[in-house]
Amino acid sequence: MKRVHHVGIAVADLEAAIKLYTDTLGGRLQRRGRLDDLEFALIDAGDDELELLAPDDAESAIGKFVKERGPGIHHVAYGVDDIHQELDRLRAAGLEQAGEVRTGVHGTPIVFLHPKSVGGVLTELVQE
């Protein structure tokens, strides 16, 4: 892993969350869009990035997360050079893949690791 790429935050109301993270906390909206069953906003928080995720579908992964747990930190993402090589290494070390490699909101390959194998934290790998 090269660095923390972003922190994913599940939100119930994207407009209110953007206002909180920009107007109140001082971040800068970089981009917003839609992908699959969610709407997202990328917030520049200095040296770090926040990925605000709002469900379009209550039965989606983010929709279920917000319904069951409420808004909050959803995942931590780490940048990697080669997602397949890093995934092979981590699976060999006993970590459990959650879902397939797919394209994420940044337009690059991503994959998740199951929280039960990563100390309770849903972990995302992002190929930079």
Decide if 77 contacts 4 (C-beta within 8 A). Answer: yes
pLDDT tens string 66-116? 999 999 999 999 999 999 999 999 999 999 999 999 999 999 999 999 999
pLDDT in tens, 15-55: 999 999 999 999 999 999 999 899 999 999 999 999 999 99
Q: Is the pLDDT of residue 2 over 90?
A: no
Full residue range of the structural domain in which residue 58 is found: 3-127
Tell me how many domains the chain contains: 1
Give me the CATH number covering residue 101. 3.10.180.10
The string of pLDDT tens digits covering residues 59-80 is 999 999 999 999 999 999 999 9
How many other C-beta atoms are found inside a 10 Å radius of the C-beta of residue 79?
19
